[in-house]
Structure 1
Amino acid sequence: MNILSISVLAVVTVIICVMLKPKNAEISVMLGISCSVIILIGVLTQVSAIVTTINQIIASSGISVDYIVILLKSIGICLVTEFAVNTCKDSGSQSLASNVSLAGKIMVTVTALPLYSDILKTVLSLAGN
């Protein structure tokens, strides 16, 4: 799925949702969520190219695989969180969107804790402790 297809699908869906909202808000929300899921599935087919490139970078740079795993998990958490937050906002639930956003930030922080630990160890070793 290319960006032109995604954009056209999104714009057409928004137009239909705007027309449906006054008469049937529930269908409008479901249509918007359905379109979002279709776009997400279409984009996820590109993940294999990303993984291949990251594997090449790891092989050529000597970066620890653990760091790459943390990076990929964090990116995944951010993408899922953004999707959920936007869906909540579109459905009119700002407080739920804020809670999901906070949960995503906490999960990224927890995921990165091993990285913080390694950085602290490196700093302490450079300081001579």
Structure 2
Amino acid sequence: MEIIQVVGLGLIATVLILVVREQKPMFAFLLAAFTGLFIFLFLIGKIETVIAVLQELADRSGIPSIYLQTILKIIGIAYIAEFGAQIVRDAGQESIASKIEFAGKVLILVLAVPILSVIVETVIGLLPTGSGSG
């Protein structure tokens, strides 16, 4: 039950942070940041497993790998931006956290443009041409 380990670590870190925060606020922030980073690194193996399964499904279905790679990059940007924004929020910097989230959204949009182009071209290709009587 890995979730019990993650929650346990989070609870222990929270208690330590609450105890330390008044005396050493910088140490409390670092403890929170490193706890978040540790949890993130703990989950990387799980993410790799999911990516492998998705890659296998894409290979079997004949979907070009560039689309799967782009979607995985988009998901990665979303997770990393959220993680970074939460750490910055923990430090009390809401405005910087908002900028990190905005940057993540812009980068996701940039990566999505080629996929959106293919979708639009496909839809246009499915539309009947205007070669009827008029």
Task: Give how far 1:114 is off.
Answer: 0.4
Number of the residue aligned with 2:124 = 124
Number of the residue aligned with 1:74 = 74
Q: Secondary structure at the match of 1:45?
A: helix
Quote the RMSD (CA, aligned, Å).
Answer: 1.4
Q: Which whole-Å CA distance do the structure 2 matches of 1:99 and 1:12 have between them?
A: 30
Q: Which whole-Å CA distance do the structure 1 matches of 2:76 and 2:128 have between them?
A: 37
Point out the structure with max Rg over C-alpha: 2
Task: Give how far 1:54 is off.
Answer: 1.2
Task: Give how far 1:103 is off.
Answer: 0.4
Number of the residue aligned with 1:90 = 90
What amino acid is the match of 2:17? C
Q: Which whole-Å CA distance do the structure 1 matches of 2:30 and 2:51 have between them?
A: 32
Number of the residue aligned with 2:48 = 48
Please give the per-residue CA displacement for 1:88-110, whole angstroms capped at 9, x wherever unaligned: 11000000000000000000010
Q: List 4+ stretches of structure 1 deviating above 6 A.
A: none
Q: Which whole-Å CA distance do the structure 2 matches of 1:13 and 1:87 have between them?
A: 14
Q: Which whole-Å CA distance do the structure 2 matches of 1:55 and 1:69 have between them?
A: 9
What amino acid is the match of 1:78? A
Normalising by structure 2, report the TM-score.
0.90
Task: Give how far 1:15 is off.
Answer: 1.2
Number of the residue aligned with 2:132 = none
Q: Which whole-Å CA distance do the structure 1 matches of 2:67 and 2:128 have between them?
A: 24
Q: Which whole-Å CA distance do the structure 1 matches of 2:113 and 2:77 have between them?
A: 15
Q: Are 1:6 and 2:6 counterparts?
A: yes
What amino acid is the match of 2:72? L
Q: Percent identity?
A: 25
Q: Are 1:36 and 2:36 counterparts?
A: yes
Task: Give how far 1:111 is off.
Answer: 0.7
For structure 1, the 5+ residue unaligned runs are: none
Please give the per-residue CA displacement for 1:25-59, whole angstroms capped at 9, x wherever unaligned: 11000000011111111111223311221122112
Number of the residue aligned with 1:27 = 27
Q: Are 1:99 and 2:99 counterparts?
A: yes
Q: Secondary structure at the match of 2:63?
A: coil
What amino acid is the match of 2:64? S
